[in-house]
Structure 1
């Protein structure tokens, strides 16, 4: 267990530009205003999608101080509840707060909202606003005009946003842990003789923690587009699949799972991609349930499917991806096969062996876990005789085999 200094600030623990990107995409996808603040309620990111109403309120000294206090208190309340918490802000609108917790230490809050609840309506909310800004140095008639531009949302949508914020908060905290692991790894490498085994464990943790925020960005945009063209059923399916997929990826990074759990993750990912690409790709899964108890490292199959979609079908409008399994002597072999564009021989020869970071980027997908990463983790858990085998021909497709020990339950 790493001993984390609880005096670290949000800026020290997490890359603020990554935070900004997540926040911007969340605001674009949901239509809600968003900002991320530290434990004192001071913004560490630039506001996204802020309403002109709230910008006007914050333009006066008293309004800004009240907003700052409201943000801080909202984060504290969410921390005490241990989950996202909707609340009425100091100026009468509805906000939602999701705490960012790192190793049981509260380090900041994700805030979104600046809306009118459908249940309360405009008139009731406006009366509350009028009462709360009466001692502000603000022209109420101008503020009222800006109030009329605020969005009205049902409580169900506010709660759904809060639930998604909770996933985002856990994700951000995870990224903070990765930063600390990387910093410790640099220090530990200077003392390799005393800490060699500890170093090896940290290297594995870093490999397993590479979840690229671009995956979250792209899916959020997909959800937003779907919401515009349907009555929400497909959006609900994608949202649930995404939530399950994120929860799965945030499990214990040292965990070995059974094949059934990994295939559930694959199915969630397929649901999302079918909606995103409008059934452009065909997926076929043919694995005997007798193999479901076989153990496999977390996120070993999904990155291979994603690699096929992103790279194999980059210049194609459709294709088929097959996931099969068979028993060969003392091994269980899981096969991920596509009929995409294939991999050139110069790249194929280096995918599993190169330590060059530039080579690794070639095989890194929007989940952040590349083929080389999957191969290394299989070697780590089961030995060098197990891992990945890749066969590919340009223009004909790619077949990736995951070799696992047969007696591995």
Structure 2
């Protein structure tokens, strides 16, 4: 190379390589010229992107799976709808809080999760035999069948112990059973237990010893726990439906984008947001993702994220993007830290509350004066607008099922015009879904930790 110039230099090239142990890896390479006293040589920077590639492929597969019509005959897997690690934690908490065994299975009784608090009789004796295991799966399928009227409570077809179950559905389609139980009461007797031990071919004395270890629980107490189970299963069903809706929304948007001219920048931002939100459960992280993403779209604006406090009565600012160098000056003018200011919901007029629930990016008339519920005196608002060169102000709320979770506020500079309106509304919509899902999961976990059944 005499000139140090070539078409392939300075560009990222994607390729696949095979490692000595036979594994396929995905890499990106950047070639660049190196000047020496003997002319130019070529240097390479190589980056292994296998993990990123695998994550992208898994996400694409998940979105495709969730966007299938529910009635096309193809099954949507439970694992495609939920993070199994999170579900296992919820199941374990439920079992610990109630003192019953618990497991989530396919509609046919095949286990999805690991058993929680399973007793030796079921885990180490009955299910270790072919006949016993088959009877367990059959019983689980019956007890967990779709029954929207309430939980099914009945003796297990295998052990005779009392069990209960509730179905988990998505759009009316039965996708899983949440089963609890493995408790006994006066309905069982040891003669029947010995008969079944002989039927499945296990030692009678060991069977009876394990049976006596099973906790005693009244039927009314089990019914009480089963009703709570039914409520949690319905919550999971609602979450599953939201996940499907979210995936379908993504797919519909991708199909529409094929027929429309969209900027590469918008596509990249939306894809990044979707990839980050799909399994994000921390609400603060969700708010940060949205703020950073909108700031990328509108680098010359101020982006402010507000959040509804736990008391459900006040909104406060949790993050801002673009205001960093003004924060000290703002505190001096406002006489309070921007992030410590509270804006009571009951001081907002009904029209503003409705606007926050529409998902539409709406201009705030009279700028920050009305946006702050007139809590900041008008002269101070005018001073702030002059200091920050504030032009038009827009806001869109994060909401779901009629509840407000917070809002995204965009403050434009001087006479600039709002761009990427539909894309920002899409991002806010995705945030609302992610926030609602996160709040539901948190509520379930907290209720399980605090609920006392005994």
Normalised to the residue count of structure 2, the TM-score between the two structures is 0.44
Say which one has the larger Rg: 2
TM-score if structure 1 supplies the norm length?
0.48
